[in-house]
A and B are shown apart, each in its own frame.
Chain A
Amino acid sequence: MAIFNLNVNGNQHQVDVDPDTPILWVLRDELRLLGTKYGCGIGQCGACTIHIDGNASRSCSMQVSQVADKKITTIEGLSEEINHPVQNAWRTHDVPQCGYCQAGQMMSASALLSINPSPTDAEIETAMRGNICRCATYVRIHEAVKTASQNL
């Protein structure tokens, strides 16, 4: 076990965990930030997507020791008033079915738009390809990313 100082959603946290613990499980089990989801544990489904220094990252595949001193943002920290343009677009298009993957989808979408505010259809497809939606709401996810892009 070791002590790590983490900066999550602008707050400092100290956790005492094994260094090999994926940041996903630190967020979920230690900090009880449960919006970040477990789906596969091998970086294949994107349900666990968070921002590390602003970049979309798979939290299931990054050890806590790799992210200490970095700026971590989870879905809970995407906006204070649930009004990030991506969240607004997800609301407008009523995107979710089961909703389980959607935090990861929104984190990938918001990271994309932060570096590319006007992505083409192909750029959206590439950026969102790592996020599986088992309910297959891809048509709406795509529309919502475009709407968010227009409302940045």
Chain B
Amino acid sequence: MSIIATKHNRRSFLKVSTAAGGGIVLGFNWALTGCSPKDAAKIPAEWHKLNGFLKIASDGLITIMSPNPEVGQNIKTAIPMIVAEELDVDWNNVIVEQAPLNTDVFTRQVAGGSQSLRHGWTSLRTTGATARQMLVNAAAKKWNVDPASLTTSDGVISGNGNSISYGDIASEASRLEVPEEVALKDPKDFKIIGTSRGNVDIEEIIAGKPLFGLDTYEEGMQYAVALRPPAFGLKLKSFDDSESRKVNGVNDVIQFGNKIAVLANSTWAAIKGQKALKAEWEEDSKLESTAYHNEELIKLLNTKADEPRRKDGNVEAQFTRADKIVEKIYEAPFLPHCPLEPMNFFANVTAEKAELKGPIQTPERTRKQVAEVLGRPESEVFIDLTRMGGGFGRRLYGDFVVESAQISELAKTPVKLVFTREDDMTAGTYRPSSKYRFKAALKDGKMTAYQLVGAGTNIGNATREDNFPASAMEHYLVESHNMSSNITTGAWRAPITNFLAYAEQAFLDEVAEELGIDPVQFRLDLFEQAKSNPTGELKYDVDKSIGVIKLAAEKGNWGKAKDGVSQGFSSYYSHNTYVAEIAEVRMDGNTPKVTKVVCAIDCGIVVNPVSAINQVQGGIVDGIGHAMYGNFSFANGQPQMSNFDGFRLIRHGEHPPTIEVHFVKNTSDPTGLGEPSLPPSGGAVANAMYKATGVRLYKQPFVQGEINIG
């Protein structure tokens, strides 16, 4: 049990009121709890806030609002589980509601960075515990006994021969002062956290209920499909909409900025209207091609950066006296996100207000963008959140929300803007194309220097300079270059590390081989070095790193593969979570197949195991799929893939049939799981494939054209 203050800077972060119809409503404001994670600088400031509220009705039903957008990470189940645990109620009596964007009540309504649980943990527990304490205090007052003499279980308060349900005392509790301190449970007493609880939306999902943005239907609404420039670098010169207007069901065609929207009575009519548009485009800026990006990125890799991202010791001196130098370049293409639900949003912009509804990972930031574009105060813009059919980072960017508002404003009608798959894939905010050059000095059986140069299109910092093997190397240099491009890029599930981890882990495997050291032992030796004698600032937890490596090696029978099975190892510190993976590959004729992945993962306390395992398995398959097949290129600014016939996603049967997930048991506060299992998976597979085939893989995707591996 631990005691936690409910006030910060003398302001309570809990606000109590009486619910309509009786009961208690407890609002909480996470922004006041003063959380300051160590790596705050890496995460946008608005992500550090989180709050929500719960309501206990007279009939004993508990409603817990889930403020964070649900994008498939199952946060809508996990957040209420944490509140319900400390509240001490029966999970069967809990109803979960998705909250709309409401910055008066909530903050950090964001899905991104695998950060929701990490930042919400203490606040969510404190809220549940505070509500529980207030209910206990109300019962104690009613019975004129000491609150400490009372106990709670499953929503009932007992003691001194009395008992009363939360529902029956909730209204009285709502009239009490918020206690200044409350006790949190000892994790060993958890009854909900750490147990598997099914997705709160499972019944609606399996029944096919309209939960998603694309399912939005409002009376009087028109369907809108837009035509955007077919290539990055083009702008609209002129257009002829006469054929489009002849399509049955098309009501209007409007230009907005560089784009044209077709408004119709149905999605199909709007799609036909879009196809019937004749537009002329003219060059506005350079029409870039993949060959150009490749050339420029290689040039950057050969350029000395003005400032290193991190420099320890003197790598040059070590390279000069090395017995051998290993130097390799790893290359990654752009990637579209391809959530299966294409971008869409509903907007109804009137003289009074702008009402929007749909799937967005960043409603607060998006509201600001919409307000700016419409030239109206944010107080007139309202965003309601739907379940999202995936995001993977694409829905961090509100361009399509802004478009829906612009179209509605101009056409003076409620609209649901729908992207066709082609629109979604060709008007993307892609993962940057990137390249990395690794260089290691080997001397006397050891790696004596480590150098990494990264470059990418609009990538910002292409590296994660403080990640392993930083601190494990006395001589260490990391540099990064940014290449400006007019192709829009952004975060893609596990930004940067989704490729960098593969490159690094494949490179370390090659270095270990050159040194004649087992790759797992090689990593363990480096971590021991970082622990016993760290160079520079150590920014990861060595014990947790070693813990997952040893657990994966044990569970995956590292080094004891069955005949015909090749193993590959990879480990990574991923979005505050520690992960190690062993991939197994078998040859099927000449084709290597990934048959099994064993994952060890330390994300602290596992809130909801059934969902956590799903996230980890999905991340691994996603990582393998994009490493194997994900290829996206440009010619004269135009995306060369526009649908799933040209852009290959991993399919059923191409996934490893067995994926074991082993969580490190501990009582550390939870970190996230939406991203962490993805980055190491490509490296584990590449290293296993090397063992199986003798071929090192330096470029993603591993599979190009029709060759069918996996």
Q: Which residues of A contact B (CB under 8 A)?
A: 1, 17-18, 21-22, 25, 28-30, 32-42, 44-45, 47, 74-76, 78, 82, 87, 90-91, 94-103, 106, 121, 124-126, 128-142
Cα–Cα distance between A40 and B422 once the two chains are bound (Å)? 8
Interface pair A132/B205, CB less than 8 Å apart: no
Cα–Cα distance between A133 and B340 once the two chains are bound (Å)? 8
Interface pair A38/B655, CB less than 8 Å apart: no
> Looking at the complex, which one of B249, B339, B651, B652 makes contact with A98 (CB distance below 8 Å)?
B339
Q: What are 19 of the A-B contact pairs (CB < 8 Å)?
A: A34-B214, A35-B209, A35-B210, A36-B208, A44-B643, A45-B340, A45-B644, A76-B207, A94-B202, A94-B614, A101-B340, A103-B205, A125-B652, A129-B652, A132-B649, A133-B340, A135-B72, A136-B618, A139-B617
Q: Which residues of B contact A (CB under 8 A)?
A: 71-74, 196, 198-199, 201-203, 205-212, 214-215, 217, 223, 248-249, 266-269, 271-272, 338-342, 387-392, 418, 420-422, 610-611, 614-615, 617-622, 625, 643-645, 649-653, 655-659
Interface pair B340/A97, CB less than 8 Å apart: no
Q: Give the residues in chain A near B390, CB-CB below 8 Å.
A: 97-98, 100, 134-135
Q: Give the residues in chain A near B268, CB-CB below 8 Å.
A: 17-18, 21-22, 25, 29
Query: How far is the CB of A40 from the nearest CB of chain B, in Å?
Result: 4
Query: How far is the CB of B395 from the nearest CB of chain A, in Å?
Result: 11
Interface pair B622/A97, CB less than 8 Å apart: no
Interface pair B614/A140, CB less than 8 Å apart: yes
Nearest chain B residue, comparing its CB with the CB of A35: B208
Nearest chain B residue, comparing its CB with the CB of A107: B208
Query: How far is the CB of B465 from the nearest CB of chain A, in Å?
Result: 30
Query: How far is the CB of B536 from the nearest CB of chain A, in Å?
Result: 37
Q: Give the residues in chain B near A78, CB-CB below 8 Å.
A: 208
Q: Give the residues in chain B near A41, CB-CB below 8 Å.
A: 271, 420-422, 643
Interface pair A42/B214, CB less than 8 Å apart: no
Interface pair A134/B392, CB less than 8 Å apart: yes
> Looking at the complex, which one of A28, A40, A94, A121 makes contact with B644 (CB distance below 8 Å)?
A40
Q: Give the residues in chain A near B658, CB-CB below 8 Å.
A: 139
Q: Give the residues in chain B near A131, CB-CB below 8 Å.
A: 652
Which of A45, A78, A98, A133 neighbours the largest number of chain B CB atoms within 10 Å of its CB?
A98
Interface pair B72/A97, CB less than 8 Å apart: yes
Cα–Cα distance between A37 and B210 once the two chains are bound (Å)? 10
Q: Give the residues in chain B near A32, CB-CB below 8 Å.
A: 217
Query: How far is the CB of B120 from the nearest CB of chain A, in Å?
Result: 19
Interface pair B621/A139, CB less than 8 Å apart: yes
Query: How far is the CB of B622 from the nearest CB of chain A, in Å?
Result: 5
Interface pair B340/A47, CB less than 8 Å apart: yes
Cα–Cα distance between A35 and B202 once the two chains are bound (Å)? 14
Query: How far is the CB of B618 from the nearest CB of chain A, in Å?
Result: 4
> Looking at the complex, which one of B389, B620, B657 makes contact with A100 (CB distance below 8 Å)?
B389
Cα–Cα distance between A43 and B209 once the two chains are bound (Å)? 22
Interface of A is mostly: loop
Query: How far is the CB of A122 from the nearest CB of chain B, in Å?
Result: 8
Q: Give the residues in chain B near A74, CB-CB below 8 Å.
A: 208
Cα–Cα distance between A38 and B266 once the two chains are bound (Å)? 14
Cα–Cα distance between A45 and B618 once the two chains are bound (Å)? 17
> Looking at the complex, which one of A25, A82, A138 makes contact with B652 (CB distance below 8 Å)?
A138
Interface pair B611/A100, CB less than 8 Å apart: no
Q: Give the residues in chain B near A17, CB-CB below 8 Å.
A: 266, 268
Interface pair B617/A137, CB less than 8 Å apart: yes
Which 5 A-B pairs have CB atoms at the shortest separation, nearest pair first?
A35-B208, A100-B389, A98-B72, A125-B653, A75-B208
Cα–Cα distance between A45 and B269 once the two chains are bound (Å)? 22
Interface pair A42/B644, CB less than 8 Å apart: yes
Q: Give the residues in chain B near A136, CB-CB below 8 Å.
A: 617-622, 625, 650, 655
Interface pair B71/A98, CB less than 8 Å apart: yes
Interface pair B618/A75, CB less than 8 Å apart: no
Query: How far is the CB of B243 from the nearest CB of chain A, in Å?
Result: 15
Interface pair A91/B198, CB less than 8 Å apart: yes
> Looking at the complex, which one of B72, B196, B215, B655 makes contact with A139 (CB distance below 8 Å)?
B655
Query: How far is the CB of A152 from the nearest CB of chain B, in Å?
Result: 17
Cα–Cα distance between A101 and B340 once the two chains are bound (Å)? 7
Cα–Cα distance between A42 and B342 once the two chains are bound (Å)? 14
Cα–Cα distance between A87 and B73 once the two chains are bound (Å)? 21
Interface pair B615/A97, CB less than 8 Å apart: yes
Interface pair A97/B618, CB less than 8 Å apart: yes
Interface pair B71/A44, CB less than 8 Å apart: no
Q: Give the residues in chain B near A39, CB-CB below 8 Å.
A: 340-342, 421, 644
Query: How far is the CB of A57 from the nearest CB of chain B, in Å?
Result: 16
The answer to whether A75 and B207 touch (CB under 8 A), given A40-B421, A98-B389, A138-B655, is yes
Query: How far is the CB of B409 from the nearest CB of chain A, in Å?
Result: 23
Query: How far is the CB of B22 from the nearest CB of chain A, in Å?
Result: 33
Cα–Cα distance between A42 and B625 once the two chains are bound (Å)? 21
Q: Give the residues in chain B near A36, CB-CB below 8 Å.
A: 208
Interface pair A34/B621, CB less than 8 Å apart: no
Cα–Cα distance between A141 and B212 once the two chains are bound (Å)? 21
Query: How far is the CB of A11 from the nearest CB of chain B, in Å?
Result: 15
Query: How far is the CB of B412 from the nearest CB of chain A, in Å?
Result: 22
The answer to whether A42 and B207 touch (CB under 8 A), given A94-B198, A97-B72, A97-B73, is no
A29-B223, A44-B643, A134-B340 known; 5 new pairs, CB 8 Å cut-off, are: A29-B268, A34-B208, A94-B202, A97-B72, A134-B622
Cα–Cα distance between A74 and B237 once the two chains are bound (Å)? 44
Interface pair A82/B203, CB less than 8 Å apart: yes
Which of B203, B269, B390, B622 neighbours the largest number of chain A CB atoms within 10 Å of its CB?
B390
Query: How far is the CB of A21 from the nearest CB of chain B, in Å?
Result: 5
Cα–Cα distance between A42 and B418 once the two chains are bound (Å)? 16
Cα–Cα distance between A1 and B74 once the two chains are bound (Å)? 43
Interface pair B339/A134, CB less than 8 Å apart: yes
Q: Give the residues in chain B near A128, CB-CB below 8 Å.
A: 652-653
Q: Give the residues in chain B near A33, CB-CB below 8 Å.
A: 208
Q: Give the residues in chain B near A29, CB-CB below 8 Å.
A: 223, 266-268
Interface pair A141/B652, CB less than 8 Å apart: yes
Q: Give the residues in chain B near A134, CB-CB below 8 Å.
A: 338-340, 390, 392, 622, 649
Nearest chain A residue, comparing its CB with the CB of B624: A136
Q: Give the residues in chain A near B74, CB-CB below 8 Å.
A: 97
Cα–Cα distance between A115 and B518 once the two chains are bound (Å)? 50
Nearest chain B residue, comparing its CB with the CB of A77: B208
Interface pair A142/B618, CB less than 8 Å apart: no
